[in-house]
């Protein structure tokens, strides 16, 4: 089922046909070092994840991110309700980073949360060395609220995670400031 459409991407339910693309993306150390996914990321990890996320529900939304131009799954994003607030994350296959897709997904995910789920805030973390993710978070209005420590399987060590909050008002302010309203307006939910 298609949930969200952006200019270049479709965010939809995972299917077991996506295993190959998910393993290609998350099996890469440069991607996995920014995440808490198992590493090495094998076919069985993908089958387990997708099997648990075939259907979305109010506590957990997981979207495969498909390139409109050829149907390849180039990443994933999620919204998980934890202690009453949605968290979750985003990842892209390394070959598709640096082209604005991450920002497009992050705006689409927030638009879905604010406009469809009707929440008034989101919370997310990024590892302290992840400058690209930091920039993406700040660009759309996330504010730092705390630090914590998480274990990263790819790095085989604990890392500091910068925890952030995005409130609705800051989101719209930041989109205007960074000229991102065009991306936002093209997103169909």
Applying CB under 6 A, which part among 46-54, 66-74, 113-121, 123-131 lies near ligand COA? 123-131
The answer to the question of residue 107 lying near ligand COA (CB under 6 A) is no
Residue from 55, 99, 173, 188 that binds ligand COA (CB under 6 A)?
99
Q: What does the chain look like in DSSP terms, one character per residue? A: -EEEE-SSEEEE---GGGHHHHHHHHT-HHHHTTS-S-SS--HHHHHHHHHHTSS-BTTEEEEEEEETTT--EEEEEEEEEETTEEE--EEE-GGGTTSSHHHHHHHHHHHIIIIII--SEEEEEEETT-HHHHHHHHHTT-EEEEEEEEEETTTTEEEEEEEEEEEHHHHHHHHHHTT-HHHHHH-B-
Here's the x/- map for ligand COA, 130-169, by CB under 6 A: it reads as xxxx-xx--x------------------------------
Applying CB under 6 A, which part among 52-60, 110-118, 125-133, 164-172 lies near ligand COA? 125-133
The answer to the question of residue 126 lying near ligand COA (CB under 6 A) is yes
Closest contact distance (angstroms) between CB of 180 and ligand COA is 9
Applying CB under 6 A, which part among 4-12, 36-44, 97-105, 169-177 lies near ligand COA? 97-105
- Interacting residue ranges for ligand COA, rule: CB under 6 A: 31, 34-35, 89-92, 97-103, 126, 130-133, 135-136, 139
């Amino acid at each position: 089922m298609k949930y969200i459409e952006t200019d270049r991407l479709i965010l939809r339910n995972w299917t077991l046909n996506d295993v190959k693309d998910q393993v290609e993306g998350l099996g890469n150390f440069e991607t996995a070092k920014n995440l808490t996914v198992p590493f090495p990321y094998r076919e069985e990890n993908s089958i387990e994840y997708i099997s648990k996320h075939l259907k979305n529900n109010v506590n957990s939304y997981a979207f495969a991110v498909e390139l409109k131009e050829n149907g390849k799954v180039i990443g994933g994003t999620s919204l998980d309700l934890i202690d009453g607030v949605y968290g979750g994350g985003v990842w892209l296959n390394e070959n598709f980073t640096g082209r604005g897709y991450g920002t497009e997904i992050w705006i689409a995910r927030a638009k879905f949360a604010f406009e469809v789920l009707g929440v008034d805030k989101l919370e997310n973390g990024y590892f302290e060395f992840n400058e690209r993710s930091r920039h993406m978070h700040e660009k759309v209005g996330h504010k730092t609220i705390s630090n914590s420590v998480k274990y990263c399987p790819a790095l085989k060590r604990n890392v500091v995670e910068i925890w952030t909050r995005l409130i609705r008002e800051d989101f719209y302010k930041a989109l205007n400031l960074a000229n991102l309203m065009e991306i936002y307006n093209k997103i169909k939910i």
